[in-house]
Amino acid sequence: MIQDQHAAESRFERGKRALAEIDGEAGERVVAALGDIAPDFARYLIEFPFGDIFSRPGLDYRAREIATIAALTALGNAKPQLKVHIEAGLNVGLTREEIVEVIMQMAVYAGFPAALNGLFAAKEVFAARDTAQ
């Protein structure tokens, strides 16, 4: 029982560190927002995507954020998460220009509306950053 909890925490801790490095405050806000409706889901979110997947050694954070921004732009139905990951892309070293390139490329694979909505999401993130400074 104690062992189970200890090991779960170590996976959880690894995920928490990755989440902080990648998503920063935006990640914390999502976790906090889940607190009163699905606290276990906050834990899964930290453990599986961040503790398991993003912590794997085979691909760096930059490449992983390119993949995530591409997928969320193409799916086109998860704007809040796309914005979090555009932020995340900047946090892990992608330039604004690189992020814009990835989103534009999605016109080829998911159509112009998906790319347009992705670009406008990026515009909102970039503007909020400029205002915050």
Burial of 76 (0-12, 13-18, 19+ CB in 10 A): middle
Q: Which helix (H) or strand (E) holds 57?
A: none
**Cα–Cα distance measured from residue 28 to residue 53, given in angstroms and rounded to the nearest whole number:** 18
77 binds a second copy (CB under 8 A): yes
120 binds a second copy (CB under 8 A): yes
Helix (DSSP H) and strand (DSSP E) numbers for the chain: 6, 0
The two tokens of residue 58 are 């085979």
31 binds a second copy (CB under 8 A): no
- Member of 93, 112, 131, 133 binding a second copy (CB under 8 A): 112
101 binds a second copy (CB under 8 A): yes
Least spacing, CB of residue 122 vs a second copy, in Å:
6
130 binds a second copy (CB under 8 A): no
73 binds a second copy (CB under 8 A): yes
Query: How would DSSP label each residue in 93-129?
Result: T--HHHHHHHHHHHHHHH-HHHHHHHHHHHHHHHHHH
**Cα–Cα distance measured from residue 97 to residue 103, given in angstroms and rounded to the nearest whole number:** 10
For a second copy, give the closer residue by CB, 73 or 91: 73
32 binds a second copy (CB under 8 A): no
Residues within the interface to a second copy (CB under 8 A): 3-8, 10-11, 30, 33-34, 36-38, 40-41, 44-45, 48-49, 52-54, 56, 58-59, 63-64, 66-78, 80-81, 97-98, 100-117, 119-120, 122-123, 126
